[in-house]
Structure formats: structure tokens, C-alpha cells
Structure 1
């Protein structure tokens, strides 16, 4: 990610920086910049730079048809329509362009070309999204799990089996993806009812991460269990008791504290 710290408010973003962001020349440095990018302008610049301006009108029509235009709904509309246009035109070259683009929001759009593809198995979907799960930019990592979450929900048992192997990955971003993508309640996404009622089904993911050295992963595991505590409090209490006995490390203690924060209120 860009080493710039970024402005604290949208009005403080220098004009030149905003121009570069909207031109797709640099990555956003923080959430303020991420929210400030004009995605329609970025899209137009991207298409113009790659001689795909014929894609612009149908994508803008999808955005205009949105009931509510937010950063996330616009992001999804662009990514979904780009997927459809590339599929209809067999435009593999442009799919590659957006997947490896220097602008993080463009890579966010690319994740939808995986999540919206119903022609591939859950195994292939997760295999393709893994590249984005390891992205150095926070925005891409957050969007990528959201794009494949519906398919994870439809193929929960198989997804957990695959993701449980990712818990041993050396990349903390990939390990975090395993819990963030399966959180029972999650953020900005539909709940996983099966895991709200039967959180034990995800133990193959949770158990290997109970002593994870990364605070980034620890927070996600704690949030996962805090989600579960709202529907299955006894499961979470019992699991935390077991972990406390089996693994009295500072990492596990931190996770347990987060996991029980709602129950301990």
C-alpha cells in the first residue's frame, strides 16, 4: 500500500493527490481517500486508457439504476458489470489488466469477476480469490471476502474444509480471510444462519488460530466468536474455557477477551 499517511478528512486531500487517485495512478492511503475516490471518473479513465470506452455506458446505467448509491453498491455494480462485459466479449486481456492494476479500487472491482462467476466450483472460486486475499491493500482484502461470501454460504461444508487448510498459511492476510469470510454475522453482509446456530461447524478453522501470533488474525477470531456468542453463548463460553486450559498464552487470552466482550457486559 502507498506509504503516504493520507489526509484525515476529504477536504484535506490535496487536489493533485485526488487527481492521481481518480486517474488510477496511485493507491488510496487510508479509508478517507478510499471513500473520496470518484469511482465513475476512475472507471472512465480506466476504460479510456485501455480503449474500452464502449463499456462505459452500460456500467453507468447499472449505477444509475441502483436504489441506493454508496461506495460499496457502486463498487459492486461496476465489478459485476465489468465481469459480464468481459464474459460477453471474451475479454480475458482486460480481466488481467484490472486484476493486476496499481489502483486498489480497480482491483476491488476485479474481485467481483470471481465472486459473480457462477460457472466455476467453490474450489476454483476460492483458489482464484486467494490472490486478492493476500493483497497488500486493506480495501481489496475487505471487498474480496465479501464477493465470495454468498458462494461460501451455498457451499459451507466444502468451503470450511478448504479454508481450514489456509489457517496454516504463512501470510497473515490469508489466515485472516478464513475467519473474516465465515463470520456468523459479519459486517456489511448477510448473516450465515447455519453458523449462527451451529458455530461448531467452523472449529476446523477456529482451533488452529487460537494461538495465532498476528494481532490482525486474533482480532478476527475474537470477532467471529463474539458474533457466535449472540446466538450460541454456551458454545462460546465452553470453547473459551477449554482454550484457557489448553493454551494459556497471551495470544489466546487476548482472543478470549474479545470473544466474550458481549457476554461480559
Structure 2
């Protein structure tokens, strides 16, 4: 009798699309069939036309459809769903209601998503509320500054990642590209950040800024190094933050 061959990869994709398991890597998130996912989460909801939308477009459309179809109580229960993508849909849906909310309310709402155990939810968290934060940039920076002192490194990371000048899968912030010093209340407290996860966000923020204002980034990094007394955390942030400048010098 021959061996039974099980297509575990195909089953894994089906489980992800049905919302039965959390994703392990970004590639798995990108392979999720959103039509299947919505059918599993809300079987009676009319189908959504996703057209040729990419992943962030699908998140926006799916979350809006769910938010309109379910009551707020029903929608909120999805916040404990096993699927990280479903939990991400919740903050995207709540972000619709937050469009007219004040910044403290926005941050109170996004906080549990920003500290979610899953990397995917944490990414959807800042992507979902970033447009609202950018509209009141000064207020957002002031409100996020205390987050840089939080004990939870995930919240410290969110404080910086949410307002990167360029970011990933999002619209750049013109004011920060032109005047990166506006972001100093978020950067200065984390110049010696001890955890690598938020360290990378600080470095990526600087790397974003270096693409438009390399002299400013270089001066800031040199200042940090001079004040750091050889701190290895600062050295790592600076090295990663200046990587674009170093590449420019090679060419």
C-alpha cells in the first residue's frame, strides 16, 4: 500500500483563509483568500468586490463591510478571534469611527492592538490609525511622546512606527519629510532603547528621514553617539539609521 500524501501547505492556506489559525509570516497573510475569510466570519454578509486591490485595500474594504454588517458589540467580539487578520480587521473597522475622534480617544482604542501578541495585528494597528494621527500631527506627537516611556516595548515601538516619515504600505508624511525635527519628542527618549524590536523602528524612522534630510540625520546621530558614552544600543540604532547615508557615500 502506497503512502498517503497530504498537501499540508494547501491545508495550511485553507485554514488561514477560514480564520482557523494565526499566520506565522507575512507571506501567509498575503495568501489569505478574503472572500473565504469573510464567509467564515460573517456567513450572512453580502459578498465584497475586492477587484484588484492589494492587501491594505482588502483590509479597508473587508473591515468596512464587517463594520456595516455587524452591530458594534458583535464587531468588538472579533477582537479576541484566533485569526490575527480578523483582529486586524477590527482595528481597521474601528478606525472608521475614529475619523472624528480626538487623538487621546484614538490612542486609547488602538492601544490593545498595538500591544497584541501577533506581529500582524501590531502592523495593522498603526496602518489603520495613521491617517487620523497625521491630520493632527502636532497633537499626535505630543500624545505619543509618553508612550516612548512605557514599560511595554510594543507600545514604545508603536509610538515611533506609527509616524515614520515614509513608512511601509502607507502615504508619506510631508511635514516630517521636510521637517524631521518635529519628531524629536518621539526619538530622543528612545536613543538608547534597549529592545531590538523598538530599536529597529527608531532606526527605520531615521533611515526614512535620511532619504530627504541626510545632514539632519547625520548631525543627530553624531550628537547621540557623543552623548552615549559607548552605549551599544545607541550605536546599533545609529548604524542602522544611517545606512542610506552610508550607501550614498559609496556611490
TM-score above 0.5 = yes
Tell me the equivalent position of 1:102: 82
Q: Spell out structure 1 runs of 4+ moving beyond 4 A.
A: none
Indicate whether 1:261 and 2:251 are aligned.
no
Contact 2:42 2:66 in 1 (8 A): no
Deviation digits for residues 190-230 of structure 1 (CA, Å, limit 9, x no counterpart): 10011111111111110111111111111111110111112
The equivalences for 1:97-246 within 5 A come to: 97-117=77-97, 118-246=99-227
Between 15-24 and 137-146, report the one with greater CA deviation. Answer: 15-24
Structure 2: stretches of 5+ with no match in the other structure: 1-6
CA contact (8 A) 2:103 2:143 kept: no
Q: Which residue in 1 is equivalent to 2:13? A: 18
Q: For residues 211 and 234 of structure 1, what CA distance do their matches in structure 2 show?
A: 21
The normalised TM-score by structure 1 is: 0.85
Given the alignment, which residue of 24, 43, 46 partners 1:56?
46
Give me the whole-angstrom Cα distance separating, in 1, the residues matched to 2:28 and 2:212: 36
Distance 1:165 1:193 in 2: 24
Deviation, structure 1 residue 13: 4.8
Q: State whether residues 167 and 174 of structure 1, in contact with CA within 8 Å, keep that contact through their aligned partners in structure 2.
A: yes
State how far apart, in whole Å, the 2-side matches of 1:122 and 1:114 are: 14
Residue aligning to 1:78? 62
2:29 paired with 1:34: yes
Alpha-carbon distance in 2 for matches of 1:132, 1:44? 23
Once the two structures are TM-superposed, the CA of residue 150 in structure 1 deviates from its matched residue by 0.6
Distance in 2 (CA, whole Å) between partners of 1:15 and 1:233 is: 46
Question: Across the two proteins, how many residue pairs are aligned to each other?
Answer: 239
1:19 Cα deviation (Å)? 3.1
Provide structure 1 residue ranges, at least 5 long, that are not aligned to the other structure: 1-11
SS in 2 for 1:126: helix
For residues 27-70 of structure 1, give each alpha carbon's deviation from its aligned partner in whole angstroms, at most 9, with x where no partner exists.
1122222222211101101113xxxx1x233xx14x24xxx322
Tell me if the contact between 1:133 and 1:141 (Cα under 8 Å) persists in the aligned partners: yes
- CA–CA separation in structure 1 for the residues paired with 2:29 and 2:18: 13
CA RMSD, aligned part only?
Answer: 1.5
Q: Is the 8 A contact 2:64 2:93 kept in 1?
A: yes
